[in-house]
Amino acid sequence: MEREAWLYEANADGSVRCHLCSHHCVISDGRAGLCRVRQNIGGTLYALSYGQVISRCVDPIEKKPLYHFYPGSKAYSIATLGCNFHCKWCQNWHISQIQRGQRVEIDRDVAPREIVADAQHTGSHSIAYTYTEPTVFFEYAYDTAQLAHAAGLANIFVTNGYMSEDMLDIFQRTLDGANVDLKAFRKKTYQQYIGARLQSVLDNLVKMRELGIWLEVTTLVIPDVNDDPGELRDIAIFLTQELGSDTPWHISRFFPHYRMTDRPPTPLATLQQAQEIGLEEGLRYVYVGNVAGSNDTFCPNCGQVLIRRYGYAVRIENLTEGHCRECGTSIAGVWMNGDL
């Protein structure tokens, strides 16, 4: 199911410039972009991973994590190979960080209509494009998302936020929600550990909010990388001022993995401090992830517990059609009635 890629231009010398993500790779004939799954073949750019689903699973929506988007529902999650980032702490490196010449066994190509049918069969409320970076399998995700909307399913990206504006302009009509990894708030960290530009991620976060895509943000807090209280405060200030105080911020605990095994797991005290910083700066919903315990949602007005969570077990208690049952305050999110 190899497909010609979208969003590229051919150059007179036989190279192409890809405009799918913020790298804007110039790719010579016979070579692939930084994602390893978009290749120039004779002056035409091809999406090599179209239909080559490497992972699919039914997940609780909270695993994405999305806490204010159809809570308690199921998300049919899919991924193909590749990523446009090369994070040293990648949790899914065996499918995202493919190397040149690496052979990965795919059982068979999976048509978009099969994904949608499976999602319906499992009782999923949405399809999540996740595990690797969904931007790099844009054409496949887009075709699937069109069919999903027609079938009454929502579409979710779990993404690093490094797509191009052109890509967002095309996808935004069928992209209902996203969790974006904001990996740090220092240019040097993005350059040194990821090979990307922080500003492109920040610009896309603002654009997604402007486009009306429901947005939640995750920061994996890594010792000696992005755990400085000043940096965490800068993230919280950006989220409050640029995205709004109703933006949920998920602060996740780091565990040694892949090429970053030289430091310990994030101390719980650091995560608690980050949560306090977020609340101090005006964020109404700050959650701590990758740790045991509860992650309840409280009414920002009266303090009533609205949604109880313990792990992936969810119980909606005092939330009715997006409002606190106790005081009537409107709670930001996408609820089962579809209201924002």
User: Residue 324 pLDDT more than 80?
Assistant: yes
CA distances from 156 to 48, 144, 215, 270, 295 (A): 22, 12, 10, 29, 21
Span 296-318, average pLDDT: 95
Residues 160-213 have pLDDT tens digits of 999 999 999 999 999 999 999 999 999 999 999 999 999 999 999 999 999 999
| Residue in 51, 5, 47, 11 with CA at minimum distance from that of residue 29 | 11
Span 41-70, average pLDDT: 95
Name the token pair of 177.
Answer: 């929600």
CA distances from 278 to 67, 284, 297 (A): 16, 8, 15
Between CA 176 and CA 149 the distance in angstroms is: 10
Residues 11-23 have pLDDT tens digits of 999 999 999 999 9
Between CA 251 and CA 253 the distance in angstroms is: 7
Q: Set out the domains of the chain in order of their start, with CATH numbers.
A: 3-47 (no CATH), 55-293 (3.20.20.70), 294-340 (no CATH)
Strand, helix or coil for residue 170: helix
State residue 99's pLDDT score.
62
- Average predicted confidence (pLDDT) for the chain: 94
Give the model's confidence band at 133: pLDDT under 50 very low, under 70 low, under 90 confident, else very high.
very high
User: Residue 339 pLDDT more than 50?
Assistant: no
Span 217-233, average pLDDT: 97
Residues 22-35 have pLDDT tens digits of 999 999 999 999 99
Q: What is the DSSP letter of 241?
A: I
Give the model's confidence band at 336: pLDDT under 50 very low, under 70 low, under 90 confident, else very high.
confident
Between helix 112-121 and helix 138-150 the angle, nearest 10°, is 50
Rounded to the nearest 5 percent, the helix, strand and coil shares of the chain are 25, 25, 50
| Residue in 285, 126, 291, 297 with CA at minimum distance from that of residue 217 | 285
Share of the chain above pLDDT 90, in %: 88
Span 35-64, average pLDDT: 95
Span 258-284, average pLDDT: 96
State residue 100's pLDDT score.
53
Q: What is the DSSP letter of 265?
A: P
Q: 65-91 in b/e burial notation, b at 16+ Cβ within 10 A?
A: bbbbbbbbbbbbbbbbbbbbbbbbbbe
